[in-house]
């Protein structure tokens, strides 16, 4: 339905090593999320999602694991919802994630500035607002790589994302 909004333009979308577009959105907690302010304090994971997205529903509990693993470290997590406050809050409660949510309502100005094709799209932005990691959809290897990149920026060992006996598919497209 929103495919035309997510069409990725190689010359406009931030690739690894490029500056992430600014984001300034209202948060569910009544505050405001400004990417440049968050990133200046600590590396920042930004995860775009839509409540109706099955791959987002599958991915966010694993993002919560990463969030919990680095909870006491200087790294910030922010979900960017393309839905309203009520639906977004119910999504977080149902799928068990606790990191803050910012709202990107239609016409999805923040999401469109990133020119991605689908959700979930997850980025890691360093203190200079440079994109250090980017993935779309669910990728087991991608989430492991996200944990490794966070650890690298923090100068520590990466936290495991998946349990040894856990049966998780390698990929799920967004």
The pLDDT value recorded for residue 13 is 62
The pLDDT value recorded for residue 3 is 38
Q: Cα dist. 23→41, 57, 112, 157 in Å?
A: 15, 23, 11, 30
Q: Judge whether residue 113 has pLDDT over 90.
A: yes
**Does 165 reside within a domain?**
no
- CATH, residue 138: 3.40.30.10
Task: Give the H or E element holding residue 143.
Answer: helix 140-154
For 13-72, the pLDDT digits (tens) are 688 899 999 999 999 999 999 999 999 999 999 999 999 999 999 999 999 999 999 999
The pLDDT value recorded for residue 5 is 38
**Does 170 reside within a domain?**
no
| Residue that is written with structure tokens 């920042």 in the block | 44
**Does 173 reside within a domain?**
no
Q: How many domains does the chain have?
A: 1
Helix ranges, 79-125 (H): 85-95, 109-114
Q: Judge whether residue 100 has pLDDT over 90.
A: yes
**Does 168 reside within a domain?**
no
What's the whole-number mean pLDDT along residues 81-109?
96
Residue in 112, 118, 152, 108 with CA at minimum distance from that of residue 133: 152
What's the whole-number mean pLDDT along residues 97-110?
95
The pLDDT value recorded for residue 46 is 98
Residue in 67, 64, 78, 172 with CA at minimum distance from that of residue 125: 78
The pLDDT value recorded for residue 2 is 36
Write out the residue range of the structural domain in which residue 122 sits. Answer: 3-155
**Does 37 reside within a domain?**
yes
The pLDDT value recorded for residue 12 is 53
For 114-141, the pLDDT digits (tens) are 988 799 999 999 999 999 999 999 999 9
Q: Judge whether residue 8 has pLDDT over 70.
A: no
pLDDT band at 111 (very low <50, low <70, confident <90, very high): very high
């Amino acid at each position: 339905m929103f495919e035309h909004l997510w069409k990725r333009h190689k010359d406009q979308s931030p690739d690894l090593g490029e500056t992430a577009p600014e984001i300034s959105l209202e948060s569910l907690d009544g505050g405001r999320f400004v990417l440049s302010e968050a990133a200046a304090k600590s590396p920042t994971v930004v995860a775009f999602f839509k409540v109706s997205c099955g791959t987002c529903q599958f991915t966010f509990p694993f993002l919560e694991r990463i969030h919990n693993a680095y909870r006491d470290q200087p790294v910030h997590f922010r979900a960017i919802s393309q839905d309203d406050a009520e639906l977004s809050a119910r999504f977080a409660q149902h799928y068990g994630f606790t990191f803050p949510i910012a709202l990107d309502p239609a016409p999805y100005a923040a999401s469109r500035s990133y020119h991605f094709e689908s959700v979930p799209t997850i980025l890691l932005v360093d203190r200079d607002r440079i994109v250090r990691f980017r993935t779309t959809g669910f990728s087991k290897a991608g989430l492991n790589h996200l944990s490794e990149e966070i650890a690298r920026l923090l100068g520590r060992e990466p936290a495991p994302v998946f349990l040894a006996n856990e049966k998780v598919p390698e990929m799920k497209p967004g």
